[in-house]
A and B are shown apart, each in its own frame.
Chain A
Amino acid sequence: MIMAKPKPIEEIINEIKNFDNILVAGCNGCVAVCEAGGLKEVEILASALRMYFGNQQKKIEIGEVSLTRQCDKEYLAELKDRIGAYDAVVSIACGAGVQFMAEMYNKMRVFPGVNTCFIGVTDEKGVWSERCQACGACILASTGGICPVARCSKRILNGPCGGSSNGKCEIDKEVPCGWQLIYDRLKELGELWRFEEPTTTKDWLTSRDGGPRKLFKEASQI
């Protein structure tokens, strides 16, 4: 899922300080799972903002809502009758949700309340880590299910590099070397022969190098 972390509240306050009616809008999708942008976080942020502006003796109304998803028009449409009552929205959905909210309600100021970080997994409660960079051309079949694009700091396709030491990456002793992980996994699977077939040059056009991406599935279209 998409991981995010709350922005420093000072940054949010600075963006909204001149507005009188604010809607704090959460998303019950990915960002709720990583405890950055769900209903619980909406309540906490709204409470903190009320206290801050109360202390500043600024009259401000702060509404709270958390949509099923902010990356689908159907759910964003739930706000259409009431969003007009607000001057601005603080969306604590991922960057996609913030943009879709701004796109759908294009006269509304929409500010991000989180920093969207990566596509990843829940290692344990409260700990999340990156697994995928959405390169658009998955090579996990040949790397033992461990992605060198996401797990190798250099994103090299035929590793490890000289910076791998005792299974760790040279950027940080806490970061496992992605290629060491791949080696260990392939060894366990009895597939070390894969190292004898180097990965050819990757076409990064399917990644961000090809510009903003779009997907079509005709069978799903109506």
Chain B
Amino acid sequence: MTYPSNIRIVKVPCTGRVAIIHLMKTLEKGADGVFVAGCMEGDCHFQEGNLRAKKRVAYVRQLLESIGMEPDRVAMYNLSSGEGPRFAEISREMTDKIRQLGPNPVRVKGETKERAA
């Protein structure tokens, strides 16, 4: 049941709450990768929040590719809330995948600044 300690969990009421900008900001702020853990497809309590999240994840992956970053830094998984061992498994899987990709280049190289206009 143990999962990697380097994972930071952000709780949302439904993955349908996860917007494109949330995924972008995780990487811009230096996370090495991010995965969205949604309910099983067809089992969304809010009808189709997880299907919406799936489309947004796909959009971000495409956007990352277009700016020369590895799309695999962002992923979507589906599991039910009762599947603790599965959560641990996908956490390990994602962590291994990200470790292979290496650290987020934005954090390593980036010196960009953000400012409000």
Contact = CB atoms under 8 A, between A and B. Distances in A.
Residue among A10, A56, A79 with max Cβ neighbours from chain B (10 Å): A56
A50 B104 CA distance: 13
Contacts of A10: 66
A139 interface: no
Interface stretch (B1-9, B21-29, B74-82): B21-29
Contacts of A210: none
Q: How many residues of B sit at the interface, in one of the four size bands?
A: 20 to 34
Given A64-B116, A64-B117, A48 B63 contact: yes
Interface stretch (A39-47, A116-124, A165-173, A174-182): A39-47
A65 B67 contact: no
Contacts of B101: none
At the interface, is chain A mostly helix, strand, loop or mixed? helix
B112 interface: yes
5 cross-chain pairs, A with B, having the tightest CB-CB distances, nearest first: A54-B110, A65-B117, A63-B117, A52-B67, A47-B24
Interface of B: 19-21, 24-25, 27-28, 63, 66-69, 105-106, 109-117
Interface of A: 8-10, 13, 23, 25, 40, 43-44, 46-57, 59-65, 79, 82, 86
